[in-house]
Structures are given as C-alpha cells and as structure tokens.
C-alpha cells in the first residue's frame, strides 16, 4: 500500500490547480452543446492539454502519453473545484478512441479534430426496439447499391440524435453470416436524406433520447470503420469505454457533499435533517458504501498501473455505482419530504429539481448501458465462472 | 501509488490460509465447538509457527513488527476458516495497548510473552461502545470495581480492561476479587465472557489516562472484526457457488438458473468493493491517517451489513441443506453474526462516524 503519487504528479496537480484558479471562471456552469462559452472553454482546455490530452497532436490533441494517474488527478481536481472538465459526449469518449484504434488515416484526419473541438457532434446508433440486451440481433440493414449502402431500419435510445451532426451506427450488411459477424460500423451525416429523428420524452421530462428511422438512407460504401462484418468487434471495444463512465465515484462524492449541505440547511419541525437520527443513519450508510466504491476505484486504478488482474472489482462497478447514486438522490428526496415531490416550475422547489431529476435519471442508467440484470449475468458468468443459461431448443 | 497487496502480503495470506486449511478444517472447529473446549492448542500452535502472535510486536520484543494491514489479512483468513483461536484481543489489541500506553518496563515484561504465545490476553472494552445492564468499570487509583461484559478472547491469562473513562489496566485472570463467567454466544468458535471486579488491584498502563489509546484500540478491533467478516463472507460465497455448481434440479445444475446466479452476483457485488474498504481502513490505522477512525467505523458498519446479507443469501442458495448442521455453513453465519454486534453495532458505528465528521 503506497498512496503517494510522487513529486512529478504532485507538480502536475499543482499546475492544474493554478490553471483552474486562473481560468476556472471561464467555464460554463452547465455544458450546452454548441454554446459559444462551452466551445471557448473546450478550446482553453485543449490548448493547455487538459482536454484531448492523449490524442496525437496531428489530430488536434495534446500528444501526451496515456497516463492513468494524470487522468485520475484531472478527474479529481475538476470535480473538487466543481469546474466542467470539458466536453464528454459519445464522439469524444467513444468514437475518437475507436478511430485511433480501428480508423483509417483519412478518417482520423477528417473527424478527430472537429469532434474534439465540439464542432462535430456525434450520436450512437446501436440499440433497436428488438435488440436491447441482445444487441447483436439488430436488424437495421444495409444493401450495397453501386458505391452506396442503402440503409433501412430503426434505432432507439439514441442520445442527442436531435443535436448531432453525424451518427456512428451498427448496420447488418452480411445477412447470411452468423449474427456477430454480419454487422458493419457505418458513419454518416444526420442530414443524409431518409433519416427521421423523433424525440423520446423520458420520465425525467426531457427529450434526451430519440428514435431514429432510416428510409433508404444512402451511405458511401467506404464510410465504415473496420472491414465489412467487423462492426461487432469494433463496437465491443467501445462498450468497455462506456461502462467505465457510469457511476464514477468522484461524481458521487460531489453529490454526497451536496446532500450533506442540503441536510444541514433543510429543517423539519424546526430541527435540521442532519440532526435527525434516522436520516443521519441513512446518510452514513450511503457514505459507507461510497467509501467502499472509492477504495475499489483506487484498487482498479492500481491494477491498471501495475497490470494486475482485478476482474471482479471492475465488473461490479456499473451495477453498484448506479444503484448507489439512485439511492443517494432518493435520500435527498426523502429528506425534503413533500418538497421532494415538487418538480420543475413549482414555487419552493429546491436546487431546480436536480435531486428529483437525478433520482429518475439514474433509474435510467441502472437500465441503460446493459441492464442491472444483464450486469448480474456478466458478473456471475465471467466473474464467478457460473454456467450460462441453456439455450431453448 | 499502489493500492493493493504486496507480494509479501499475498504470500502471508497464502501461508496462513494453507496452514489453516491443513490443520484447522471444519471438523476441527466442530470438535472445539461441540466439546466446548477451552483452547485449541493445536491450532494456536499453527499460528505460533507463522509468528501471528508477534505480528504487531516490534522485533526488539520478539515480534516481527509488521503492520495493521497484515493483521487484518490474518483476521480475514481466520474468518474464512472459522478458526477456533484467540486473535483480536490477544494478537492485536493487547500488543497495541502495551506499545501505545505501557511503560518500558511493562513492555519488556509482557511483549515477549505475548510474542511467544505463552500468555493469552483478553480485552474488556465493550462498555466504551455502549453499556448493557449495569455494566461499567470504575477505577479508584489502581483498584477496579464493577462489571465488564462481552470480553473478547475470554479464555486468557491476563486482561486489558478499560475503565469507564477509557483508562487501561492489566488484570491477571487469577487476581483476588475477580470473578469470571463465560457467556455462550451463537458463535462457538470464539470465547466470550463477563468479568466482575470486586476491588481488584490492577496494573495501570500509564499512557492511557486521556482515553485516546482506548479509542484507538476500539478502532483497531472494529477493523479486525470487519476483516474477519470479509473472510467469512467470502467463504460463504465460495461455498454457495460451488454447491450451486453441483446440485442438479430440473435436469441442470442450479448455478445455471438466473435466479440463483443473480443471488451470487448480488453477493459478489456487495463483497468485492468491501475488500478494498477493509484494506484501506487497516492501512489508514497503520499509518495513523487522519481518517483512520472514520474508516474503521465505516468498515465495521458496512461489513456488518454486507456480511449479514451474504450470510443469509449464501444459506438460501444452499436450499434446505444450508439450514442443516450437515454442511456446517452455520459456523460462518454465526461468526458473522457475532462480529456484527461486537464493539458497537452498525448503528452505533455509523453514529460515531457522523460524530467524527461533526455531523
């Protein structure tokens, strides 16, 4: 056990703190895609190497070597200062790593720089109405017609499709191949004729998801990452990136601190919620679980640094982390009582309804990105070596 | 930066586990429990071979001078094997009490005997975590009066006793005026008891007067019980998975049913992050980190909850067999159950966690 990071990293942390102290006031209070202030902040981060840090310089990044500890220090410091760490959409978190891994030189040149800058926004076309947990059974298909794929079908749960410039999309192009080998990874602009986006309003009250319909959408045949039929392999590399994003303990810690502040502020019968033993006990239970996940996160970080196996510790993070966040937000609502049942637009509403919004949103995250039940299958089968359910004859 | 176990620490876990598996299988624990043996000298001899009693004692006094994390790893192994041996009081709390609050003469007199395993020490601290009935020990000078309940490692030659204000004393088990009464807990693998003090003359640990050392001992005891539960719970999960992999119903092993798999995934998901929490709590105590007491409270409370959940769920995965004495699964169930209540219930530990943060 050695929890020190050494002088080089402490210097990196000190530089970052200076940067945040100097420029942090420029950061937008909330990230609005395409807003001038958001884009200007992204440029500021890029020029100092706090965004796109490990992306090669020729593609608009900072060109630093990947360094797990630097990434960790950045996450911690931006979270502690409550300053936006820049854009984190699916283009940046998922597509760019994929391009660097599987893309052609021309694709990297074309897409990475504007995506990093927030000028090119991406959405992800994976899930379909009948291909959710069993994603590989997707049916949106492309048929070659001259130099173009003609794509027909439907996607669902597509975040930001109504804002996106481009989509990266899983399309069945090899109908006779086994289901995992018949999929290709296509890229096309959302302005292509034949694409219809219908917003999908969620229980939160926002239209953050969409349904996307394809009706004879023509995509150039080489607008593809990897080869024909390699889409599943390409996409699976990315799903690892996505699951790592959900349930980040640094964000949970920020929410926990906000919850403590709320319970010190709000009163019931004139006494602060934090002074009421039942509520305080629930708060401490959540803190105990949070500290366990934080310690687990440090263990995973170290396992990455020292190339040690920690499979089970990693497999449980999405399941446990999203559940914990959901319960943390629930405690705030209970502490607020009737005030916690108010919502957007109401007088007396606390914190602009963020507690209620997160409570519902995290139920969405418990389901999305691989449902809790699918996560449990993965934990049991890959982590604990238990046998798969036999296939029905 | 390295959050994890060193090669030496992994080796320690392997050695302790292997020797316990060889010399202290469940059949041995059963004999200890069913015959209500006072001491399992043969299993204690195994720990002695490994240097466990001297783990936290410096080399000058005959120990190996290892850290609190190593002690927690041993506790984990003992829980995993439901080992019928004293540990928390004798091998952790007593050496710490002497080294933190004892005079040089007291250290010279007692530590070598502890390190060599010749003397076993119990610990009477429970009242500092909430007193039941009229329990509580008052010190008048170096004379003790009162009653101490739930004394850890009760079959001992000497006791470390805390007075109500947290001063620490050594009392010989045959001291005049001392009455001992064994308590029978659900967990038959460890001995628990009650001490009655009728003007018993005791040996004060001079560095303990402000009560801080007693609080430190409680934090260490909590981390050790958390580690013991971690090991015991891991053993129950392992047994549940193994059982589900062999038991067949409806023409297939029950491990292939999602209902059973999801119970096992729930257990693993609760337990795996707890492992890192226990490691960190023990590490923090070892380096006297600012947040050490907070983490000890949380480790104790969290492992109590996770342990209780696993004790119940792993038993359920075994179906009716889990409820019988045939498999002996209840030894782990009960060990976890006793750990939960010792040195403060989870509610009490969380209350202290809040107080430590000024909440």
Which one of B273, B301, B307 makes the best mutation probe of the A interface by having the most chain A beta carbons within 10 Å?
A: B273
Closest chain A CA to residue B242: A386
Whether residue A386 and residue B245 make contact (CB cut-off 8 A), yes or no, is yes
Q: Does B274 reach chain A within 8 Å, measured CB to CB?
A: yes
In this prediction, residue A133 carries a pLDDT of: 82
Whether residue A1 and residue B283 make contact (CB cut-off 8 A), yes or no, is yes
Min Cα separation B63/chain A (Å): 21
- Closest by CA to A277, choosing from B359, B141, B79, is B359
Whether residue A302 and residue B3 make contact (CB cut-off 8 A), yes or no, is yes
Structure ipTM: 0.96
Q: Is residue A239's pLDDT more than 90?
A: no
pTM, rounded to two decimals: 0.93
Closest chain A CA to residue B6: A1
- Name the average pLDDT for chain B: 97
* CA separation for the pair A72, A305 (Å, rounded): 12
How confident is the model over A133-190, as pLDDT tens digits?
Answer: 889 999 999 999 999 999 999 999 998 999 999 999 999 999 999 999 999 999 999 9
Q: Does B355 reach chain A within 8 Å, measured CB to CB?
A: no
Pairs of CB atoms within 8 A across A/B: 154
Percent of chain A with pLDDT over 90: 78
Min Cα separation A94/chain B (Å): 26
In this prediction, residue B112 carries a pLDDT of: 98
Min Cα separation B268/chain A (Å): 8
Residue A283 with chain B: CB contacts under 8 Å: 354, 359
Residue B243 with chain A: CB contacts under 8 Å: none
How confident is the model over B118-171, as pLDDT tens digits?
Answer: 999 999 999 999 999 999 999 999 999 999 999 999 999 999 999 999 999 999
How confident is the model over A42-90, as pLDDT tens digits?
Answer: 999 999 999 999 999 999 999 998 888 898 899 889 988 889 999 988 8
In this prediction, residue A309 carries a pLDDT of: 77
Residue B280 with chain A: CB contacts under 8 Å: 291, 295, 298
Catalytic residues of A: 242
Whether residue B276 and residue A295 make contact (CB cut-off 8 A), yes or no, is yes
Q: Is residue A243's pLDDT more than 70?
A: no
Q: Does B2 reach chain A within 8 Å, measured CB to CB?
A: yes
Whether residue A296 and residue B295 make contact (CB cut-off 8 A), yes or no, is no
* CA separation for the pair B226, B282 (Å, rounded): 10
* CA separation for the pair A355, A316 (Å, rounded): 25
Min Cα separation B324/chain A (Å): 25
Min Cα separation B273/chain A (Å): 5
Do the beta carbons of residue A267 and residue A276 sit within 8 Å?
no
Residue A281 with chain B: CB contacts under 8 Å: 347, 350-351
Q: Report the residue from A9, A287, A380 with minimal CB separation from B265.
A: A380
Q: Does B347 reach chain A within 8 Å, measured CB to CB?
A: yes
């Amino acid at each position: 056990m050695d929890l020190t990071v050494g002088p080089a990293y402490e210097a990196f942390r000190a530089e970052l703190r200076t940067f945040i102290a100097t420029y942090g006031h420029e950061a937008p209070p909330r990230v609005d895609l395409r807003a001038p202030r958001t884009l200007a902040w992204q440029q500021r981060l890029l020029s100092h190497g706090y965004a796109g840090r490990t992306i090669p310089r020729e593609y608009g990044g900072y060109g630093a070597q990947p360094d797990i500890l630097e990434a960790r220090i950045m996450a911690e410091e931006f979270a502690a200062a409550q300053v936006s760490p820049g854009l984190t959409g699916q283009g940046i978190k998922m597509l760019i790593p994929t391009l660097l891994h599987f893309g052609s030189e021309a694709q990297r040149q074309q897409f990475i720089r504007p995506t990093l800058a927030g000028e090119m926004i991406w959405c992800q076309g994976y899930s379909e109405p009948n291909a959710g947990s069993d994603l590989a059974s997707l049916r949106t298909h492309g048929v070659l017609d001259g130099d173009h794929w003609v794509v027909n079908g439907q996607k669902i749960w597509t975040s930001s499709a109504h804002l996106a410039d481009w989509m990266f999309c899983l399309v069945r192009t090899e109908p006779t191949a086994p289901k995992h080998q018949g999929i290709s990874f296509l890229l096309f602009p959302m302005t292509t004729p034949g694409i219809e986006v219908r917003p999908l309003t969620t229980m939160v009250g926002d239209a953050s998801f969409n349904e996307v319909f394809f009706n004879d959408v023509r995509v150039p045949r080489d607008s593809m990452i990897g080869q024909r039929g390699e889409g599943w392999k390409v996409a699976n590399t990315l799903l690892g990136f996505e699951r790592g994003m959900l349930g980040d303990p640094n964000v949970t810690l920020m929410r926990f601190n906000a919850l403590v502040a709320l319970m010190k502020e709000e009163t019931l019968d004139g006494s602060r919620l934090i002074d009421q033993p039942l509520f305080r006990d629930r708060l401490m239970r959540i803190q105990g679980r949070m500290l366990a996940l934080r310690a687990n996160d440090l263990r995973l970080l170290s396992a990455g640094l020292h190339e040690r196996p920690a499979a089970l510790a990693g497999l449980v993070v999405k399941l446990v982390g999203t559940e914990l966040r959901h319960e943390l937000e629930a405690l705030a609502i209970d502490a607020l009582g009737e005030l916690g049942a108010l919502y957007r637009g109401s007088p007396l509403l606390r914190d602009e309804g963020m507690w209620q919004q997160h409570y519902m949103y995290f139920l969405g995250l418990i389901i999305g990105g691989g449902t809790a039940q699918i996560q449990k299958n993965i934990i049991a089968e890959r982590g604990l070596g238990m046998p798969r359910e036999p296939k029905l004859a | 930066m390295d959050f994890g176990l060193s090669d030496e620490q992994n080796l320690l876990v392997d050695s302790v586990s292997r020797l316990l598996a060889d010399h202290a299988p469940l059949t041995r624990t059963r004999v200890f429990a069913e015959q209500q043996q006072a001491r399992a000298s043969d299993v204690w001899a195994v720990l002695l071979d490994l240097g466990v009693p001297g783990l936290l004692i410096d080399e000058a006094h005959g120990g190996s001078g290892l850290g609190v994390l190593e002690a927690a790893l041993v506790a984990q192994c003992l829980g995993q094997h439901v080992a019928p041996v004293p540990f928390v009081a004798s091998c952790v709390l007593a050496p710490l009490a002497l080294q933190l609050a004892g005079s040089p003469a007291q250290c010279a007199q007692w530590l070598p005997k502890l390190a060599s395993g010749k003397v076993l020490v119990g610990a009477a601290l429970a009242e500092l975590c909430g007193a039941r009935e009229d329990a509580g020990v008052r010190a008048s000078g170096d004379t003790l009066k009162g009653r101490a309940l739930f004394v850890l490692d009760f079959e001992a030659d000497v006791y470390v006793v805390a007075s109500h204000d947290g001063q620490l004393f050594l009392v010989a088990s045959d001291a005049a005026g001392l009455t001992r009464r064994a308590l029978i807990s659900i967990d038959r693998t460890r001995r628990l008891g009650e001490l009655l003090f009728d003007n018993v003359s005791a040996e004060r640990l001079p560095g303990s007067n402000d009560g801080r050392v007693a609080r430190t001992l409680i934090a260490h005891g909590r981390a050790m019980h958390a580690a013991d539960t971690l090991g015991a719970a891991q053993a129950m999960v392992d047994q549940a998975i193994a059982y589900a992999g062999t038991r067949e119903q409806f023409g297939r092993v029950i491990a292939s049913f999602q209902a059973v798999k999801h119970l096992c995934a729930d257990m693993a998901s609760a337990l795996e992050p707890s492992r890192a929490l226990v490691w960190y709590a023990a590490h923090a105590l070892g380096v006297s980190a600012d947040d050490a007491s907070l983490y000890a409270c949380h480790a104790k409370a969290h492992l109590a909850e996770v342990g209780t959940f696993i004790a119940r769920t792993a038993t359920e995965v075994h179906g009716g067999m889990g409820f019988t004495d045939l498999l002996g699964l209840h030894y782990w169930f009960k060990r976890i159950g006793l750990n939960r209540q010792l040195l403060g219930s989870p509610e009490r530990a969380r209350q202290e966690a809040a107080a430590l943060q000024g909440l």
